Amino acid sequence: TQLLEQSPQFLSIQEGENLTVYCNSSSVFSSLQWYRQEPGEGPVLLVTVVTGGEVKKLKRLTFQFGDARKDSSLHITAAQPGDTGLYLCAGTYNFNKFYFGSGTKLNVKP
């Protein structure tokens, strides 16, 4: 049983479209992180959110942490082929142990 559920599992869109991926849990986390992973490589941290209701922006990416600190979303505006990859969320209670979701595999077609 996954502690963090990510949806959708797969997403294939055209360049220029917007998209949102979700990360949901029944647990309250002290912090949640988003990573992007490309084939054959390790995950790369995109953002850490710690405060309920927090919104962080990273160029065309907008991250939101739910008020109750149980869920999060990642919105990409005007997706580009370079955004293709596996997007992972990870939650932690104490920064000692991190629980990862199973990821959303995004494919952006030119």
| Pattern 16-35, other proteins, x by CB under 8 A | ---------------x-x--
Q: Is-contact 90 32, C-beta < 8 A? A: yes
Residue 40 CB, shortest distance to other proteins, in Å, is 7
Helices (H), the chain: none
Please report, as residue ranges, which positions from 32 to 91 form the binding site for other proteins (by CB under 8 A): 33, 40-45, 48, 50, 88, 90
Q: How far is residue 55's CA from residue 35's CA, in Å, rounded to a whole number?
A: 16
Q: Could you list the residues that contact other proteins (CB under 8 A)?
A: 4, 6, 31, 33, 40-45, 48, 50, 88, 90, 95-103
